[in-house]
Homo-oligomer: A and B are copies of this chain.
Amino acid sequence: MSPPNKATVKALCNHPEWIGRADCRQCGILQQVLFSDLSADDLESILDGIFEPIDQYGYPPGTVLYHEGGQDNAVFTIRDGLVKLVRYGPDGDERIIRLLKRGDSMGLERLLGDSYEHTAIAVRNVKVCRIPLTVMQRLNADKPRLYRTLMEHWSACLFQADDHIMLLLSGTVRNRVINLIRWLAKVEATEEKGRVELLSGKEMASMLGVTIESVSRVIADLKRKKVLRYLGSSLYEYDANALDTYATAERKAP
């Protein structure tokens, strides 16, 4: 239930990534995920009736969960960690389309089309539930109520995409980096308040459409200004107010 620490992940890497059968009845984030609209009874009958199991998997950073164009017959719910959905530009450069966090779904497009639309890659240690398409189809047929939740997940993706677009349109590199940090701080809900685990420079760069060096310079500057303080392993302490100020103060500073 708690985020996997380094040791457990090591373990996951040595063993296959499989963690175990999911027991949705016990799910700690049930209210956030695909089955949130179902009653306990519904849940019960589903879990009894299905013949393909819902399994949990763990992956270390960098693992590809599925490929654009690939055809694993499942959708996924993220239990923990961070996943990037990417596409590749003409020169093979990776472009991050979306970042998914705990409670988000991915691969929903498989409900409608024949393959995945992005490549999904773990950014941190990740735990996911793999829900076979057959289960989803069965559910859709049996419990139309599920549709609403499904639509909510589509719409959540869309809102996030919209935010990303706003981010990309938000002017200077400074602004974009700061807004990205604020977003990470918001969604990551690290144990300790006031701390963020940043992405790698390359990842931030390919999410914001800027160079690694520019990102690095912005962060160096924020450190100089005491807005960020490095704690080790990409973990930073941040001054929320200062961040807010800098993010909006931009644009026409004489």
Contact = CB atoms under 8 A, between A and B. Distances in A.
Interface of A: 87, 89-91, 95, 97-98, 108-109, 111-113, 117-118, 140, 144, 147-148, 150-152, 154-155, 157-159, 161-162, 164-166, 168-171, 206, 209, 248, 251-252
A180 to B, nearest CB: 14
B144 A112 contact: no
A244 to B, nearest CB: 11
Contact of A169 (B108, B117, B168, B170): B168
A152 B170 CA distance: 30
Contact of A90 (B91, B157, B165, B248): B248
Chain copies in complex = 2
A162 B111 contact: no
Contact of A166 (B95, B113, B166): B95
Nearest to A251: B91
Given A108-B155, A154-B154, A154-B155, 20 more contacts: A89-B169, A89-B170, A89-B171, A91-B252, A95-B165, A95-B169, A97-B165, A109-B155, A111-B151, A112-B151, A117-B159, A117-B162, A144-B147, A147-B151, A150-B151, A158-B161, A161-B164, A161-B165, A168-B169, A169-B206
A90 B155 CA distance: 24
Contacts of A117: 159, 162
Contacts of A168: 165, 168-169, 209
Contacts of A91: 251-252
A144 B111 CA distance: 16
13 contacts: A87-B166, A90-B248, A95-B166, A97-B162, A112-B151, A117-B162, A144-B144, A154-B155, A158-B161, A161-B161, A168-B168, A168-B169, A169-B209
